Amino acid sequence: MHKSFDLFFVSSNNHKYQEAKIILDSLGINLGFFKSNLEEIQSNSLHNIAMAKARDAFSKFKKPIIIEDDGLFIDSIDGFPGPYSSYVFKTIGNKGILNLLKNNRKANFISIITYCDKTNLQSFEGKLNGKISKTLKGKGWGYDPIFIPNNSVKTFAEMNNKNELSHRFKALKKFSKWYLHK
């Protein structure tokens, strides 16, 4: 039997989809998945990158979609890697980030969820403040083993409740309120 979805998450990253699905299921939205490599413009703005990716995704699939773009912004290195987080992770990884840092380890994670259909293009931002750990902690994906949210001693990778407080959760919660009442 064909399963009906409210909308689709478009990404090449299955981890992001799985997190988004768990979060949106809990908020009453049934999320499907289109695995796709989307065009990613070069920009210093996560918002502009997310808008371009959403337009690209909708043009390919012609169904209501959301995409997510996020970045890790580290204070002591002027917000780097920011919108270049994916590239930096692929090239120098978490160990490279740890090697760049000295004493100021303050950082924040920002997630932009962008929705697109025939008539709407709308973005929702979630931000979580924290810091970068001194060593890799836990087994998680992406920057999870080095990001410690404020008021915690554990990295995302060490947490059981990451999906209840993450930057992605905050952005998806804002999106779901809008989506369910549009």
Give percent of the chain above pLDDT 90: 92
Q: Indicate the pTM of the whole model.
A: 0.92
Q: Hey, what are 116's tokens?
A: 């697109």
Give the distance from CA 43 to its chain's centroid: 17
State yes or no: pLDDT of 2 exceeds 90: no
pLDDT tens, 89-102?
Answer: 999 999 999 999 98
From 6, 56, 69, 70, active-site residue: 69
pLDDT for 1: 39
Give burial (CB, 10 Å; 0-12/13-18/19+) of 63: middle
Q: What distance in Å separates the CA atoms of residue 118 and residue 63, rounded to the nearest whole number? A: 8
pLDDT for 40: 86
Q: Hey, what are 86's tokens?
A: 């994916």
Q: What CA–CA distances, in Å, run from 93 to 14, 16, 86?
A: 19, 18, 9
State yes or no: pLDDT of 177 exceeds 90: yes
69 is annotated as an active-site residue:
yes
Which own/partner contact pairs does 140-146 have at CB distance under 8 Å and 24+ positions apart? 141/15, 142/15, 142/89, 143/72, 143/85, 143/89, 143/94, 143/97, 143/109, 145/94, 146/94, 146/97, 146/98
pLDDT for 103: 85
pLDDT for 166: 96
Domains by residue range for the chain, with CATH: 7-181 (3.90.950.10)
pLDDT tens, 44-73?
Answer: 999 999 999 999 999 999 999 999 999 999
State yes or no: pLDDT of 10 exceeds 90: yes
pLDDT tens, 158-169?
Answer: 999 999 999 999
Q: Which residues pair with 74 in a beta bridge?
A: 107
Q: Closest Cα partner for 129 from 113, 150, 112?
A: 150
Q: What is the dihedral of CA 16, 17, 21, 27, to 10 degrees?
A: 60
Helices (H) and strands (E) in the chain, counts: 5, 7
